[in-house]
Amino acid sequence: IAGALADGPLKGKHVVVTSGPTHEPIDPVRYIANRSSGAQGTAIAEALAALGAAVTFVTGPADAARPRGVHVIEVETARQMLEAVEGALPADAAIFAAAVADWRVTQAADKKIKKDASGVMPMLDFAENPDILARVSQMKEGRPALVVGFAAETNDVVDNATAKRTRKGCDWIVANDVSPETGIMGGSENAIVLISSEGAEDWPRMGKVEVARKLAARIAEALA
């Protein structure tokens, strides 16, 4: 595994990080996506590597430049992301920063879907994607010691994120408010509430790189 060049509290630890959006194909030229830039996941991977971790970074098609000093695996769909994560285990910690598409088109067309002279719209049929975070959180054998999920919410942030932590079985949820008026989605700042078994901890609004450093330091403490 690449990385692990730095000396630090995470030396000898392997951390898997997911990041970016996933793309779910409709036909060969179209896909369903979301607004994730991959900036927060990228910053987390770099911050973990800077503390000495060997990082496997599984990313969907994101705008953000790829992090340095880590092993990068590029995927497109949620199902490919799951496969890459499972292939990257075992790990001491797994951080799920990706904005995974909840649904995929059940049967992507193998040819471009054409407009119909009759004006009838095509109907898309959806299937739910596997929940990568829930799967890893609930592993019976070989579960990473620390599993961290994210929750992008537009309302009732703490309640929704606390319920999400219990439902999925992860250790921490890094929750943020992505309602449009916060400007967080696609921006360079983040306002985090860290949810753990101890409760909810509010972090002041700060840059995504600072969030990443603070989170990496907390991960190092938890794994020590």
* Residue 151 Cβ vs Ca ion, minimum distance, rounded to whole Å: 9
Is 13 known to sit in a ligand binding site? no
| Binding-site partner at residue 172 among ligand CTP, Ca ion, none, CB < 5 to 8 Å by type | none
Give 76 or 102: the residue with its C-beta nearer to Ca ion.
Answer: 102
Closest approach of Cβ 128 to ligand CTP, in Å? 8
**Smallest gap from residue 102 Cβ to Ca ion (A):** 4
Identity of the residue, 69 or 149, whose beta carbon is nearer to ligand CTP in the bound complex? 149
Identify which of residues 70 and 150 has a Cβ nearer to ligand CTP in the complex. 150
Number of residues near Ca ion (by CB under 5 A): 1
Comparing CB distances to ligand CTP, the nearer of 4 and 45 is 45
Q: Which does 149 bind (CB under 5 to 8 A by kind): ligand CTP, Ca ion, none?
A: ligand CTP
Binding site for ligand CTP (CB under 6 A): 18, 78, 96, 98, 100, 102, 129, 131-133, 149-152, 164
**Is 34 marked active-site?**
yes
Is residue 11 a known part of a binding site?
Answer: no
Query: Hey, which residues between 102 and 161 contact Ca ion (CB under 5 A)?
Result: 102
Nearest to 91 by CA among 32, 128, 34, 45: 45
Amino acid at 137: S
Q: Is residue 111 a known part of a binding site?
A: no
Residues whose CB is less than 8 angstroms from the CB of residue 196 and which lie 6 or more positions away in sequence, other chains included: 165, 171, 172, 173
Annotated binding residue at 130?
A: yes
What's the 3-state SS for 68-111? CCCEEEECCCHHHHHHHHHHHCCCCEEEECCECCCEEECCCCCC
Contact 148, 174 (CB under 8 A): yes
Whether residue 102 is annotated as binding a ligand: the answer is yes
| Location of structure tokens 């098609």 | 61
> What is the C-alpha to C-alpha distance for residues 218 and 121, in angstroms, rounded to an integer?
50
Q: State in angstroms the smallest separation of the CB of 216 from Ca ion.
A: 24
User: Residues marked as binding for CTP?
Assistant: 102, 112, 130-133, 150, 164, 168
Active site residues: 34
User: Residues marked as binding?
Assistant: 102, 112, 130-133, 150, 164, 168
